[in-house]
Amino acid sequence: MNAGDRKKVMSRVKRIAGQVEGVRRMLEADRYCIEILHQVAAVRSALDSLGIELLSKHLECCVVGHGGKDTHECARPMTNERLLAEVKQALSQFLK
């Protein structure tokens, strides 16, 4: 992942952390359960979007672009078969 993509992802993670902190504050303030559940749903949606973005970047940089300048050092020594197995495992975990 290049520096620009990393900056965008980090910004998203910070936003999600703020949402989670908001849930904590809502619980401490004894807010109505349905309001908290709406916020939890928003956090889950944000995490899903983050996961999709990370998976997309991994596919671009490390799988399709394997061996290119943006390939992460962990992916460089892997075979195409190993990369595919890793993506399948990640998708399995992500879609649970």
pLDDT at 1: 79
Asked if 55 and 90 count as a contact pair (C-beta separation under 8 A), the reply is: yes
pTM across the whole model: 0.85
Asked if 26 and 36 count as a contact pair (C-beta separation under 8 A), the reply is: yes
Give the chain's end-to-end CA distance (angstroms, integer). Answer: 25
Burial code (b: 16+ CB inside 10 Å, e: under 16) for 57-85 equals bbeebbbeeeeeeebeeebeebeeeebee
pLDDT digits (tens, 9 = 90+) for 15-33: 999 999 999 999 999 999 9
Confidence of residue 3 (pLDDT cuts 50, 70, 90): confident
The yes-or-no verdict on residue 47 having pLDDT over 90 is yes
pLDDT at 69: 86
d(CA 20, CA 41) in angstroms, rounded, equals 11
Rg (CA), the chain: 17
Asked if 87 and 96 count as a contact pair (C-beta separation under 8 A), the reply is: no
pLDDT digits (tens, 9 = 90+) for 65-89: 888 888 899 999 999 999 999 999 9
pLDDT at 56: 93
Confidence of residue 94 (pLDDT cuts 50, 70, 90): confident
List, in order of start, the domains of the chain with CATH numbers. Answer: 3-94 (1.20.58.1000)
